[in-house]
Amino acid sequence: MTPEERIATLREKIAYHSDKYYNQDNPEITDYEFDMMMRELKQLEKDNPSLVTADSPTQKVGGKAKRTAGVLVRHNVPMLSLQDVFSKEEVTEFVEQMREQLDEPEFVVEYKIDGLSMALRYENGALVLAETRGDGINFGEDVTANALAIPDVKKKLKDAPEYLEIRGEVYMKNAAFEAVNEKQELLGKKPFANPRNCAAGTLRQLDASVTKERGLSLFIFNIQQVRGMEFRTHTEGYEYLKKQGIHVIDDYKVCRTADEVWAVIEAIGERRGELAYDIDGAVVKVNSYADREKLGATSKVPRWAVAYKYPPEEKESRLLDIELSVGRTGRITPTAIFEPVRLCGTSVSRATLHNQDFIDELDIGIGDTVVVYKSGEIIPKIKEVRREKRPADWKRFVIPDTCPACGAKTERERDTADIKCTSPNCPAQLERHIINFVGRDAMDIKGFGTVYIEELVRMGYIKDVADIYLLHEHRDALIEQGVIGKEKNTDKLLDAIEKSKKNDVYKLLTGLGIPNVGKAAAKAIMKHFQTMERLEKATVEDLVAVNDIGEISAQCIHGFFSEEGNRAMIARLRACGVNMETAEREVTDSVLSGKTVVVTGTLPTLGRREAQELIEQYGGKVSGSVSKKTDYVLAGENAGSKLTKAQELGIPVLSEEELREMLDR
């Protein structure tokens, strides 16, 4: 391959992975793999300067500025990236270059936090704006509302200059990240890949209450601009910020020689696995602001700092077992159990194997000698298998076709690599199933929160969804034990459970948690079959005859009702008095008949569900996303990106008042 061809290939790959990292918060490769591609491209362009182009990834900073969480704002100071270095020799070269150009410079060595960059602007001590890095040069994104929900962000400074702009890294502590992913699993949602992705996605979304709930943190690592006060050095600025109660980078060190700098970098590397958060390197900065001013910056990076990236530490170990666990969504996750090895300061003996595809790709089996490392996210991973060391009786591991928790049949989920247990009564996923069953789109039992569900399952009151309708038999015990609260709270929940028996049967079908059967599909199915009894007897051919129900969904539904345990559960629900028939509702012919409407924002009097029911009552269909097929967008306050897209596509936008006027005609 010629240098020109290799450069083109690398640029295409880097552009793809940059978009996954910066704009989608969903990287597919490690930071180290990305850094190595970028380094190769830089070297090729250095060797072939005639091939350098303005749109090369080496000439750009960061990702695109997006409008997900707020409006675009212009940077007062560019939020540049740092030049990466990967060896002691490169660190030494940087230090010596600085010493040649400056008079006895000092260097500050500090952690490089793995998060999302954000700048804060203060005017006379009051926070006026928080912005993301965006494109790094011109525009970032206004995330002030979300920033105010982060405890480390100070709204007011005590001893403040006329203007102060500081830059830091929004990140998640590992404990906060684990708590968020546990909740994602509980709600049946996709877990985040790593703390950095979770922090980035959280800062950019629209609901500040979600930001507060997820527990983001912030480290400040630079003073960008100041008026009305003067700082001579980076560390002097840090001392001022600390007096204001601002959280700056932990445990920074001042050095004067290359050997001192390297010693600190090594010390950070040895203890990074013991930190409560992820770091992906160490930053070396010139301390003096006057020296920084003298050195300046290129179009991409400041000349007065570099970021040292730690290489992945790798060790061999022997695979002792592969443990299968069933998550609250029914997903079966294989975990490698290997002889303990020490990596990045901690002992590790477990690493996820993700799914059967990953196992097949590694070609791994029990007894194999494996290469273990910790990625930039400080998560133990298996890199490869030493096939030359495998035992004579070796067999590649295959996830069985029965659930390790309950023995039910397992199935591979469509369009994914996930293998899931098919039983909704599997004890490993019971809590998640109950949460779905009582949720708004299903039986809508108000006040039946996650904490109550966890406690009722733990104490044995609920073993499947039918047990919900037998809780009244345990009323006195529940009150005495304080499971739900005092008498008033207990009776309130029991009343809500009783009222839910009268729900339309499509809500019950939605709550059963059958794969590929959500609210819309459940409505279509029950409109066709009318009663649960007829649905239970339906063949795959009968089910495929329903509008919008395909072969795979039909197989899932038929398989569910073929299970004896599921039929018994339905019988118990019927015996408890839960409605099993469709409630006929007259659909009014109107201007909305056959039209697709998207609802977005907060409406003056209608809740989201009430708006949907009103639209459906008048013959319309509600969609969750705006496309060319959308006929109207019903918009309230804080409508966000859906409103923007509707305007771009020229789709009519209605207020609640305008919708009501249309329906009254």
Candidate from 52-61, 321-330, 405-414 with smallest mean pLDDT: 52-61
In a domain, 403, yes or no: no
Candidate from 156-165, 201-210, 295-304, 472-481 with smallest mean pLDDT: 201-210
pLDDT mean over 538-560? 89
> Using 50, 70 and 90 to split pLDDT, how confident is the model at 67?
very low
Higher pLDDT, 425 or 97: 97
Q: Is the pLDDT of residue 583 over 80?
A: no
**42 catalytically annotated:** no
Q: Is the pLDDT of residue 587 over 70?
A: no
Residues sharing a CB contact under 8 Å with residue 551, sequence separation 6 or more, in sequence order: 540, 544
User: Do 559 and 655 share a domain, yes or no?
Assistant: no
Structurally, the chain folds into a number of domains equal to: 5
Q: Is the pLDDT of residue 403 over 60?
A: yes
CATH number, domain containing residue 239? 3.30.470.30
- Please report the pLDDT score of residue 457 as a whole number: 87
- Please report the pLDDT score of residue 61 as a whole number: 53
In a domain, 587, yes or no: no
- Say if CB 380 and CB 343 are below 8 A apart: yes
Higher pLDDT, 277 or 379: 277
Higher pLDDT, 339 or 603: 339
Q: Is the pLDDT of residue 376 over 70?
A: no
- Say if CB 397 and CB 364 are below 8 A apart: yes
Residues in the chain, total: 665
- Please report the pLDDT score of residue 308 as a whole number: 97
In a domain, 401, yes or no: no
In a domain, 561, yes or no: yes
Domain with 507 in it: 427-575
> H or E stretch including 60?
none
User: Do 99 and 248 share a domain, yes or no?
Assistant: yes
Quote the mean pLDDT of the chain.
Answer: 87
Q: Give, in order, the Cα–Cα distances in Å from 242 to each of 152, 239, 246, 647.
A: 12, 5, 5, 46
Is 103 strand, coil or helix? coil
Is 80 strand, coil or helix? coil
- Please report the pLDDT score of residue 66 as a whole number: 43
Q: What is the pTM of this model?
A: 0.52
In a domain, 650, yes or no: yes
CATH number, domain containing residue 640? 3.40.50.10190
H-type helices in 379-531, by residue range?
430-438, 450-458, 475-481, 487-500, 505-511, 519-529
User: Do 318 and 304 share a domain, yes or no?
Assistant: no
Q: Give, in order, the Cα–Cα distances in Å from 599 to each of 518, 575, 606, 609.
A: 18, 38, 11, 10
Is 234 strand, coil or helix? helix
Candidate from 73-87, 188-202, 359-373 with smallest mean pLDDT: 188-202
Candidate from 203-212, 277-286, 560-569 with smallest mean pLDDT: 203-212
Q: Is the pLDDT of residue 586 over 60?
A: no
User: Do 178 and 285 share a domain, yes or no?
Assistant: yes
User: Do 92 and 137 share a domain, yes or no?
Assistant: yes
User: Do 540 and 605 share a domain, yes or no?
Assistant: no
For residues 399 and 355, what is the distance between their CA atoms, to the nearest angstrom? 8
- Please report the pLDDT score of residue 88 as a whole number: 96
**What six digits make up the tokens of 254?**
């001042």
CATH number, domain containing residue 43? 1.10.287.610
Candidate from 9-23, 225-239, 317-331, 472-486 with smallest mean pLDDT: 9-23
pLDDT mean over 187-213? 79
In a domain, 285, yes or no: yes
In a domain, 415, yes or no: no
User: Do 151 and 222 share a domain, yes or no?
Assistant: yes
User: Do 301 and 321 share a domain, yes or no?
Assistant: no
Q: Is the pLDDT of residue 564 over 50?
A: yes
In a domain, 399, yes or no: no
**From 60, 112, 309, 642, active-site residue:** 112
User: Do 280 and 365 share a domain, yes or no?
Assistant: no
